[in-house]
Structure 1
Amino acid sequence: MHDMHSVVFNPSGIRASVAAGATVLDAARAGGVDLDSVCGGRGLCGRCQVSATEAGVLSDPGPTELGYRGRRPLAGGFRLGCQAVVLANAVVDVPPESQVHRPVVRKAIDLTEVIIHPVVTLHYVELPEVVLGFEAAEVDLVADALATDWGLSDLEFPVPVLAGLSPAIAAGDRSVTVVVHDRRTVLDVRPGYSDEGWGVAVDVGSTTIAGYLLELSSGEVAAASGRMNPQIRFGEDLMS
């Protein structure tokens, strides 16, 4: 029987038990902890960063972590949760930046707390090489990879997405990032690894209209603009 280790995640207080050889990300998934990941545990996105409260409870950084050069640098003792193996009972801190549904305060907009939970999500998958006699369609390979790596099943692939599927797979050397809406519909397939997702929030008021361009993973407002609502001439309380 494999040795079991207990991992307590802060600030949620959730405790998970995992067998020897499991990573912090494995423990988070086993316990239902809100730990972000886009690359599927391949050490590419850097979103699963955590820190241990004690030394020696996680494995030393390996080649993937030492070679990591992602958009969010590793600093201050933080580790990639998908690469750090649990060696003993541990207490792990999950910073707000690594939480999927992390709270973000938008003081410049409305001074209220907003929960980041985008309906459009990104999922990186790697597809097997095609060999002679292998007859599976590429859409089936992508669907199988999404089901295995991300638990996404019965996805709809619209015709425009299917038309661009083969070129994306070829350009990405058989790795792609799949853009999924509401865990049901594939919106796009991008070559290789991609972690950028953008959305627009529109605030329509009786006197003004404001628009915000947001990065979906962080909730960061990249741009904002506004104008007077032309219907104001019909009265401040009239909405059409």
Structure 2
Amino acid sequence: WSDEDGFDVATATTGITGICGSGIIEAVAEMRIAGLVDDSGLIGSAEQTSTARSIPEGRTHAYVIHDATADGGPLISVTQGDIRAIQLAKSALYAGARLLMDERGVDTVDRVVLAGAFGAHISPKHAMVLGMIPDAPLDKVTSAGNAAGTGARIALCNVTSRAEIEKTVGEITKVETAIEPKFQEHFVNASAIPHKTDPFPELAKITILPNVSFNTGGGDSAGGGRRRKRRG
């Protein structure tokens, strides 16, 4: 669902049927902020999280976002599989960014620009909570929209700009992630939410992530676990 004008009217017939791509990013990030998911990506049980919305699902748990089963509608939840898929995707994104930072010899960035149509709909705060992007001041995380399409139009319509683009392309250093020795290390460290080793001081200025752990020593198995206090 959405708080955008006209959403209720548009879904009056179909009802709520699922979670979109940018929506799942916000949902998982909010679950992390609320302490429903620990930094390893595990969803806590109802006992661990103190909410009945955490329901058993096999050996793991899911978190109920919307329950319309009483009216014959769907039960929409965020599952452990959903979070693992998010972790795989965001780890690859962050590892790629970290390799570029290594290439430049820096550990921090001043700003982040999200390109592509999907990037235009992502909440910068929630992307940073998940560790999809490097830590940076939130007001310095912006969207460029369809940068590839815009660049193509500029190249087609402006001869001078086309020459500048060709010159810039020749100066680009290609970083092949598949053969970079540190890619696997960066990928594994980035699987934590937001990150296993890299600090996120700018993120800490706007939100405090609860220091909880739902790992009972049996991988993703259900039950047990403990809560730890929030990081100050």
TM-score scaled by length of structure 1: 0.24
| The structure with more radius of gyration | 1
Higher relative contact order (CA 8 A, sep 6+): 2
Q: Relative to total residues, which structure has the larger strand share, 1 or 2?
A: 1
Q: What TM-score does the superposition give when structure 2 sets the normalisation length?
A: 0.25
